[in-house]
Structure 1
Amino acid sequence: MKRPRPMTVGELSRRTGVPVKTLREYTDLGLIYTLGRSPSNYRLFDADALWCVRFIGQLRGLGLTLAEIRELATASLDGADGPAGPRLAQLLRRSRERLRQRIAAQQQVLRRIAEFEAEHQEELVAEGDFCWAGDPRSGAGA
């Protein structure tokens, strides 16, 4: 059975849509492994790298940080912490909580916008400048 030809980092980038710089970072973090280097000193990857890059993308899309993904990968490789499933579930709960906190912060901004609009309703619908008409820096009105 013939083994597929290794991919360069550029080819892996084209096939996954992930920038070369990001793939180098993933490699440096130990999230994807190279087969070594070509005679031209290019990093070489096998088909497993395609799966890894796509899985990393899925986890990033779920809000996991690269540090958390690295933690998960390291624990899985070490096998010391048992199966990866429960650890991933814990990381997903953590990601969900971060997202809830960001949503709450954005909802607070929405409330402040509504309060501002209610407080300044007349000025917001009136012709002319809102606050710059009476700008003390302009020297007008003094």
Structure 2
Amino acid sequence: MNGKQTRPMTVGELSQRTGVTVKTLREYTDLGLIYTLGRSPANYRLFTADALWCVRWIGELRGLGLTVAEIHELTTTYLEHTGRPFGPALAERLEAARERLRARIAAAEQTLNRIDTFEKTHRAELADAGGSAACWADDPRGCGVRS
């Protein structure tokens, strides 16, 4: 930091300054992703300004598609000084996030194709403003009619 000591923040203050919910900050703290100074006499969790950086870094990684579990794994590996460099481990997690995103995009494209096919197949029914067209569901009893 800049050498200037600031007063500790409560979890509520950290939430206000970062825009991250108190519940999420507690989860991050419980996972060891953010360290506390301990607790106040009123039993509030207390954080230094370093927590701001941690929360922003977690947000950056989440924004890149990493899961909280992956961030926890990276942090644990780094803190345990396993000798494994952080950069390659992060690169692996980013590739995994990239693959998950590609899979979601492919699934979304399949859904778009099904919508296109459905609309082409049922163009007349979809355009019938009078509602007199037969139901496009293959139900001989009609739409929603129970016999």
TM-score, normalized by the shorter chain, greater than 0.5: yes
* Percent of residue pairs identical: 65
C-alpha distance in 1, partners of 2:76/2:144?
Answer: 60
1:122 Cα deviation from its structure 2 partner: 1.4
Q: How many aligned residue pairs are there?
A: 139
Match of 1:113 in 2: 115
Q: CA deviation at 1:128?
A: 2.4
Report the CA distance shift for 1:81/1:104 in structure 2 as closer, same or farther (over 3 A).
farther
Which of 101, 104, 111 is 1:99 aligned to? 101
Rounded Cα–Cα distance in structure 2 between residues aligned with 1:112 and 1:29: 41
Q: Secondary structure at the match of 1:134?
A: coil
* Between structures 1 and 2, the one with greater helix share: 1
SS across alignment from 2:46? strand
Report the TM-score, using the length of structure 1 for normalisation: 0.91
Residue of structure 2 equivalent to 1:40: 42
1:136 shift after superposition: 5.7
Query: What whole-Å deviation, never above 9, does each CA across 1:73-110 have from its counterpart, x for those lacking one?
Result: 00111120421110000000000000000000010000
* CA spacing shift, 1:103–1:2, aligned 2, 3 Å: closer
- Which residue of the other structure, out of 30, 33, 51, is the alignment partner of 1:31? 33
Q: Deviations over 1:4-38 (max 9, x none)?
A: 11111111111101111110000001100000000
- The two structures, once aligned, show a CA RMSD in angstroms of 1.8
What is the CA distance between 1:134 and its match in structure 2? Answer: 3.2
Q: Which runs of 5+ in 1 are unaligned?
A: none
Q: Which amino acid aligns with 2:77?
A: A
1:127 aligns with 2:135: no
Please give the alpha-carbon distance, in whole angstroms, between the structure 1 residues aligned to 2:25 and 2:118.
45
CA distance in 1 between partners of 2:43 and 2:32 (Å) = 19
Structure 1 residue aligned with 2:24? 22
